[in-house]
Amino acid sequence: MQQPRGAFAPVPTPLGDDLLFDPAAQAAHLRWLASEGLDGALVLGTNGEFPSFSLDERRVVAESAAAAGSGLQLMLGVGSCALPEVVAMLGVAADCGYGSVLCPPPFYFRSAPVAGVAAFFREVLDRTALPVLLYHIPQVTGVPISDDLLDLIGHHDRLAGVKDSSGDRDEFTRLAERFSDGAYFVGNDHLVRDCIEAGGPGSITAAASVSPRLVRAVQAGEAEQGALDQVRDLLEEFGLGPSVKAFLKRMGFGEYATRPPLGELEPDRANELWDRFNRL
């Protein structure tokens, strides 16, 4: 089993003004990321707004990314609270040649017993031949990838590691140590260099969608973490998801509209963001 490695971008899912998926914009963005030296892309993660799309739509998005021929390592987010939908997306990932998958816990069931969440993940691991990263983003899901949960899941050949988007240094320490022999991927730009120095194989961070060369350089030790911190701070100030979409629209990749209940940056705010980014 070949594990993912390198700097990944959690790419947004582009929508036109009609709020329908725009495959041309997706392909253009993926190819640009590859031309900038990025290693991979996560499709249908949190920044990809996967809960906003039906199962059929997610299947189309995943197939389109694979057909783009970007040359990037592709990881597919298979998240859903419905286990049959997760299994269906596992099949899509395998059929389309994805290298790995990312699976969050069943986030609607926040009071589910830990044993039930472990059974959910064991089923996912049993039903795929691809490396699986568990998705630790408790500030969104409300269901942490805890040590108790990992103990109950136990060893599994397809459990490659974890993507840690908590942004918490204590969680970074805990999970990096727990997966020291596997794949600990950091999901926060502020911790990219720390992750590499701790032996982690890579990162999946929002800034990689708009500053791929910088993220790759920080990961390789060729640029200072502080430069990436400034970009991340700016994105967070304006709203992480809306900021990335505003950048990609300004760069001419597509409209990058957003379905409710999520929103977009107002034009004046988008202009201010662009100007401040270019002054960094």
Which one is catalytic: 163, 184, 245, 249? 163
Any catalytic annotation for residue 256?
no
Which residues share a beta bridge with 41? 9, 74
- 134 Cβ partners below 8 Å, 6+ apart? 103, 104, 105, 121, 145, 159, 161, 162, 163
Any catalytic annotation for residue 163?
yes
Any catalytic annotation for residue 258?
no
The domain segmentation of the chain, as residue ranges, is 6-223
Kindly give the interhelix angle for 55-67 and 83-96, rounded to the nearest 10 degrees.
Answer: 20
Alpha carbon distance 128, 141 (integer Å): 23
Which one is catalytic: 98, 135, 184, 256? 135
Alpha carbon distance 134, 184 (integer Å): 10
Alpha carbon distance 74, 134 (integer Å): 16
Phi, psi at residue 103, to the nearest 5°? -130, 115
In this prediction, residue 2 carries a pLDDT of: 83
Q: Quick one: CA dihedral 75, 99, 184, 280, positive or negative? A: negative
The per-residue pLDDT string of the chain (280 residues; one tens digit each, 9 = 90 and over) reads: 688 999 999 999 999 999 999 999 999 999 999 999 999 999 999 999 999 999 999 999 999 999 999 999 999 999 999 999 999 999 999 999 999 999 999 999 999 999 999 999 999 999 999 999 999 999 999 999 999 999 999 999 999 999 999 999 999 999 999 999 999 999 999 999 999 999 999 999 999 999 999 999 999 999 999 999 999 999 999 999 999 999 999 999 999 999 999 999 999 999 999 999 999 8
Any catalytic annotation for residue 249?
no
For the chain, the distance separating the N- and C-terminal CA atoms, rounded to the nearest angstrom, is 41
What is the DSSP secondary-structure string of 109-129? -TTS-HHHHHHHHHHHHHT-S
Which two three-digit tokens encode residue 160? 């490659």
Torsion of CA 82, 83, 88, 92, to 10 degrees: 100
What's the length of the chain? 280
The amino acid that residue 244 corresponds to is V
How far CA 135 is from CA of 106, 148, 197, in Å, comes to 11, 15, 21
Residue 110 near residue 147 (C-beta atoms within 8 A): no
In this prediction, residue 93 carries a pLDDT of: 98
- 270 Cβ partners below 8 Å, 6+ apart? 246, 249, 250
When the candidates are 3.40.50.1000, 3.30.230.10, 3.20.20.70, 2.40.110.10, the CATH number that belongs to 6-223 is 3.20.20.70
Q: Which of 223, 10, 189, 180 has its CA nearest to residue 102? A: 10
Which one is catalytic: 13, 46, 128, 205? 46
Helix (H, G, I), strand (E, B) or coil at 130: coil
In this prediction, residue 1 carries a pLDDT of: 66
Alpha carbon distance 144, 118 (integer Å): 12
